[in-house]
Structure 1
């Protein structure tokens, strides 16, 4: 091969190597004998939030901060010939951003002399942040006494929740966003024999698909590049309760794995070959009708049946408006303490608006409205219309106006309902009639209605028509 052909071939290989470094999903950094970076690929730039010009041809210790020089696995490989495999490392870039990686590092040796060192890094910064930000343990301050309301609808759910504290059966809590589903979950845990054990809460919608399995079930060292021995949420909740919020956001494949874990009380870490027994109570929540979630493939039917051994339907605020004064008083007390105010009450005019409003954001929205109003108060000790946040006033104006004219009073009340509410009332009344006609026999009623027994039981619990003993 001529010199020209050899150069051409080297350029060809160089282009291939560069393409590979640009595309692979691991960070690659190489330093020379002086500690200067000579190779720095795009993935490494991404996980360290650095531009190539900030790092290339510059000394490692000038760019990155380690607690000690010896904490740099790359420098240890260069200076001492140390090889490391799947070793966790935390350090900071020049902007102070914390970075956590799992690294493989090794020296590059030629003729017995170390001429460079290479680091292959997997980013687990997101994993570490998820563990800190979305994993909540020990924060179980709520009991059934914390749930505010005297309405019959709410009291029925509280009583059902209290009965659920006697066993370790799975619980499915269904309710719109902002109704207080986690309050019920914590109350069940605190009222049960597991109250002295961990309570672990996880929002399934907050889990990225590429991390969800390892977070739930844990990992075995060597399962994949950068994997370490790490217990998942199911293990961390051992002996206690695991709350899975928005269970219908979980990938169907993982729903199947979760079903196995609940049924057989065993899990297998990602990459492991052995099962591990667990003792965990599962409480799941969702903010949509489970039948709709099943029909739209967001919830496995078999998982629903397993989770809904106990089903609680938390009523929306629009169905228990008589609880608004109690809730409002509690929120005023809370923000009086936080804001060093002395607000005594809410005006009748504001209460009238509250009773007319439909509260799509439920109890959480009511709290935010009161907090917003108390931010606007200067000298008054009563929350008036002028203190209400603009966005609430705007939404209230957009809602259908109510009139006390004789013409409106003469209109049938059914014509004022939203279609969804009307259909639900109609369904509940029809179910009551058919069930009564068949002497409360669920199987016969389901057959007449043309639906499954489980589907009918769900609807009966939803509308609190009939409860199994």
Structure 2
């Protein structure tokens, strides 16, 4: 192999190594014998909020700050030949951001001489920030791992939310009551760079308009009788996130003032003449369709466009019924721990009823049903039966009645005695049979279509025709 071929081979190998290093989900930093960085992969950049130009070919002490030089494991490896495995290290980048990692650091030797050092870093900064923030924020505890569901509908919203967590743009979360809007808001806060800051929630419908303005923006002493110098929620949420629940309940005048605060990033206390800069991320929620809210004059159009830089629409439970099994299991485990019980699951008839029910109260309603049922279960019962379900649930008009085992819910004897026309009866039978087959296959459209012996497109047409929910 001639010199040119060897050079070409080395270039190809170098390209392979570079791409490999940047795909590995571990931070890698290599320094030479003088402590200057010669390798710095993408993951390490993410962990330290730095780019390669700021770090490469510079001494680590010119870029990062440690309590003392001996706290740098890379320097320890260079000077003492010391190998340290799975050790926590906390330090600061050039912008003063705190970094906490778990590192494996070791020297590089050649002919018994130390020529450099390598550090493999795993991130625990987010977990450290989360722990600190739980103590600061008075009980905010939800992360993306708290969101239960594997359906395409919920997974899509989770992915969009994770992307939104990377910025400080305003977010509008739309969803029916009980879908988990605050869970998403807290998850976004905890995954963001603001997780060290406060997370403050205010339900805009719970406070009279006369008090809400001073609560949000604060008051200046003497602004009105009894007024004291008091910061509002915007100032209290400085550096963090302010969640405004039911934003559409604000009156138009307050909506206009909120819009100004969002645009100018300043607020003015009630009774004051000076503006004050604030650094707050706004997440707003509403349980009404935004377009309908604008039409009904519940929401200013200009505020909607300012808030909805990122819009998240949380699907109702009726649109992701394939998550019911996982939700039920999770809630049973939760209340087993709380109630010191050992319930193993729910009966098929209960699951059938859950799949047929439309869940107007969404995930929150399902959790309350499970909690209520476990309060009613007698000793020695290992699962939730239909008879264990709360009375108010069983007696709802759209809850299907208990169907005996091995008996379809279509009562053919009753059909023969009815006065319905044949056409109407056939529609009823077809609709019910499709619904039961759909339940049997846990709302998997492809499996249901195969079981019925029709095409997927044909089944989807019938689902729309009979107004049956499709979850897959």
> Smaller-chain TM-score range?
0.5 to 0.7
Residue 332 and residue 400 in structure 1: after superposition, are their counterparts in 2 closer, same or farther (change >3 A)? closer
From the superposition, tell whether residues 271 and 397 of structure 1 become closer, same or farther in structure 2 (CA, over 3 Å): closer
Tell whether the 8 Å contact from 2:247 to 2:285 is kept in structure 1 after alignment: yes
> How far off its partner does 1:220 sit?
0.3
Distance 2:163 2:411 in 1: 44
> What are the residue-to-residue correspondences of 1:150-229 with 2, within 5 Å?
150-229=150-229
Q: 1:356 to 1:213 in 2, by over 3 A?
A: same
Which stretch shows the higher mean deviation, 405-414 or 170-179?
A: 405-414
> Aligned residue for 1:410?
430
Query: How much does 1:396 deviate?
Result: 5.0
* Kept in 1: contact 2:393–2:399 (CA 8 A): no
Contact in 2 for aligned 1:137/1:201 (Cα 8 Å): no
Structure 1 length normalisation: TM-score?
0.58
Unpaired runs of 5+ residues, structure 2, are 1-135, 403-408, 413-424, 432-461
Aligned to 2:348: 348
Deviations 1:117-176 (A, max 9, x none): xxxxxxxxxxxxxxxxxxx94432000000000000000000000000110000000000
Unaligned runs of 5+ in 1: 1-135, 426-469
Whether the 8 Å contact between 2:353 and 2:400 is mirrored in structure 1 is no
Q: Secondary structure at the match of 2:205?
A: helix
CA deviations on 1:212-245 (whole Å, 9 max, x unpaired) are: 1000000000000000011001110000000000
1:271 aligns with 2:271: yes
- Report if aligned partners of 1:143, 1:190 keep a CA contact under 8 Å in 2: yes
RMSD, aligned CA: 2.0
**Matches of 2:222 and 2:152, distance apart in 1:** 55
The aligned counterpart of 2:383 is 382
User: What secondary structure is seen at the aligned counterpart in 1 of 2:396?
Assistant: helix
Alpha-carbon displacement from aligned partner over 1:179-218 (angstroms, at most 9, x marks no partner) = 0000000000000000010000010000112201000000
**Match of residue 286 from structure 2:** 286
CA pair 247-370 structure 1, distance change in 2 beyond 3 A: same
Indicate if the aligned counterparts of 1:223 and 1:270 stay in contact, CA closer than 8 A.
yes
2:253 aligns to what SS in structure 1? helix
Q: Secondary structure at the match of 2:341?
A: coil
Q: Which secondary structure state, in structure 2, belongs to the residue aligned with residue 391 of structure 1?
A: helix
Distance in 1 separating the partners of 2:398 and 2:256 = 47
Checking the alignment, whether the CA contact within 8 Å between 1:172 and 1:285 is kept in structure 2 is yes
1:96-122 deviations in Å (ceiling 9; x for gaps): xxxxxxxxxxxxxxxxxxxxxxxxxxx
TM-score (norm 2): 0.58
Contact 2:353 2:399 (8 Å CA) reproduced: no
Q: How do 1:427-438 residues align onto structure 2 when only pairs under 5 Å count?
A: none
Contact 1:345/1:383 (<8 A) preserved: yes
Q: Is the alpha carbon distance of 1:397 and 1:287 closer, same or farther for their aligned partners in structure 2, counting shifts above 3 Å?
A: closer
| Offset of residue 415 of structure 1 | 3.9
Residue 393 of structure 1 aligns with which residue? 394
Equivalences for residues 228-377 of structure 1 within 5 A: 228-377=228-377
Q: Matches of 2:138 and 2:191 in 1, distance apart?
A: 15
Question: In structure 2, what is the Cα distance between the partners aligned to 1:204 and 1:254?
Answer: 11
Q: Which runs of 4+ in 1 moved over 4 A?
A: 396-402
Q: Which residue of 2 aligns with 1:17?
A: none
Deviation at 1:336, TM superposition (A): 1.0
Distance 1:397 1:256, change over 3 A: closer
Contact in 1 for aligned 2:240/2:280 (Cα 8 Å): yes
User: Contact (CA 8 Å) 1:170, 1:307: kept in 2 or not?
Assistant: yes
Structure 1 match to 2:64: none
Deviation of the 1:410 alpha carbon = 3.5
- In 2 relative to 1, CA 398–352 (structure 1 residues): closer, same or farther, beyond 3 Å? closer
Closer, same or farther: CA 391–258 of 1 in aligned 2, 3 Å? same
Question: 1:287-321 CA deviation, whole Å, 9 max, x = no partner?
Answer: 01000000011000000000000000000000001
Quote how far apart the aligned CAs of 1:400 are: 10
Q: How many residues align?
A: 285
Q: Deviations over 1:406-447 (max 9, x none)?
A: 9335354334328xx8xxx9xxxxxxxxxxxxxxxxxxxxxx
Q: Give, in whole Å, the separation in 2 of the partners of 1:329 and 1:398.
A: 21
CA contact (8 A) 1:138 1:200 kept: no
Q: For residue 410 of structure 1, give the secondary structure of its aligned residue in structure 2.
A: helix
SS of aligned partner of 1:201: strand
Flag the 1:404–1:202 CA change in 2: closer, same or farther, 3 A. farther
